[in-house]
Amino acid sequence: MQHTAEAIAKANGINKTQVNLWRNVIRDNAPTLFIKGKIDLIDNRQSIIEEQQAVIGQLTLENMQLKKIATIPMKQRLALLDCNHHTLSIATQCKLYVINRSTVYYKPTGESRENLDIMRILDEQYMQTPFFGVKHLRRTLAELGYRVNVKRIRRLMQLVGWKTVYCKPRTTRPDPIALKYPYLLTGLKVTEPNQVWSIDITYVPMKDSFAYLCAIIDIYSRLIVGWGINNQMSAEWCADIVEDAVGHYGSPQIINSDQGSQFTSDVYIAAAKRHGIRISMDGKGRALDNIFIERLWRTVKHEHLYIYKYVHGSQPAKGFAPVLFVLQ
């Protein structure tokens, strides 16, 4: 009964290549196979094959490991790099972590001066005409002497957080992965401080850059219990502001926010639950649910930001403290 090389290899737990080699040796050297000296030659060839198979096995293992590493987000892999490592060069580490070496040395360029000017105009325009879309804004910018295309305007609108106000059918559904919480303030009477806090983020225009302002307001007393400025809207940043506010004023019963990704993140939710705070979220498209802090943004921008035009990120951090104190 004849068997294929693959069947023999599977039955005996050996490599198919090994079976084919043995077959070729027997076929080509059968008459002189057991003559003295031939056995040693075959043994030497066998040892070479075993070494090659060991190398193949090692490479296969390394390839599997690289595939696992490739599933780790790029930011985390970049954080693992040690540019001052004594033995591993940057090139070697890039191969180990599956990172393009140019990514390590790349420094993102900031927005151009023209883009920053346009972003300031967009931020001011939103307070006057929040119902404007891309086409309206393109005409408005053209009247001011800016020749920009639709794609560029859309990108800058996203950076400043422009959300056009208009009536639309409910054709989308919330992301089932992100956890959403109900709106808890309907019919609720706020009768004391630390009963309900409200948190939100807004865009801060500056001359040479831009940033984001996050603040927490006590609904009853209108006290700004916490605030911070950052150039990125990260969930960790928002959670830190909540932690600082709780450290200074104690835990509220409820904290209300919109359904932004920062406020549906595990980091933010864990920070709130750690202090026993109930989480409330606005309905989708319901900006008025968070009306108190939205009104705060209007006051801060019209009475401070648009009057004192900041140049870089450190100036607002110094300027907002007395302003927020006066407003509360």
Considering its fold, how many domains does the chain have in total? 3
What would the mean pLDDT of 108-135 be, rounded to a whole number? 86
Question: 254 has which bridge partners?
Answer: 196, 278
Residue 290 has pLDDT above 80, yes or no: no
320 and 214 within one domain? yes
The pTM (predicted TM-score) of the whole model is: 0.51
Average pLDDT rounded to a whole number, residues 60-78: 70
Weakest mean pLDDT among 6-15, 50-59, 212-221: 50-59
What is the token pair recorded at 193?
């401080």
Verify that 101 and 146 share a domain, yes or no.
no
Same domain? 89 vs 130 = no
- What pLDDT, on the 0 to 100 scale, is given for residue 250? 94
Binned at pLDDT 50, 70 and 90, residue 260 comes out as confident
Identify whether residues 128 and 67 lie together within a single domain.
no
For residue 28, is it within any domain? yes
204 shares a domain with 315:
yes
Same domain? For 88 and 144 the reply is no
Rounded to an integer, the average pLDDT of 3-15 is: 75
Could you identify the residue written with the tokens 């105009």? 121
User: Based on the domain organization, do 207 and 322 belong to the same domain?
Assistant: yes
Q: Is the pLDDT of residue 188 over 70?
A: yes
Of all residues in the chain, the percent with pLDDT exceeding 90 is 22
Report the percent of the chain where pLDDT is more than 70. Answer: 73
Q: Which of the two residues, 65 and 168, has the higher pLDDT score?
A: 65
* 235-249 and 266-274 helices, crossing angle to 10°: 10
**pLDDT score for 141:** 92
Let me know whether 9 and 91 are in one domain: yes
Last residue in a domain, options 105, 123, 150: 105
Lowest-confidence range among 199-213, 250-264, 289-303, 304-318?
304-318
Task: Give the torsion through C-alpha atoms of 160, 166, 169, 170, to 10 deg.
Answer: 40
d(CA 205, CA 81): 34
Whether residues 77 and 130 fall in one domain: no
Q: Which residue has the higher pLDDT, 31 or 139?
A: 139
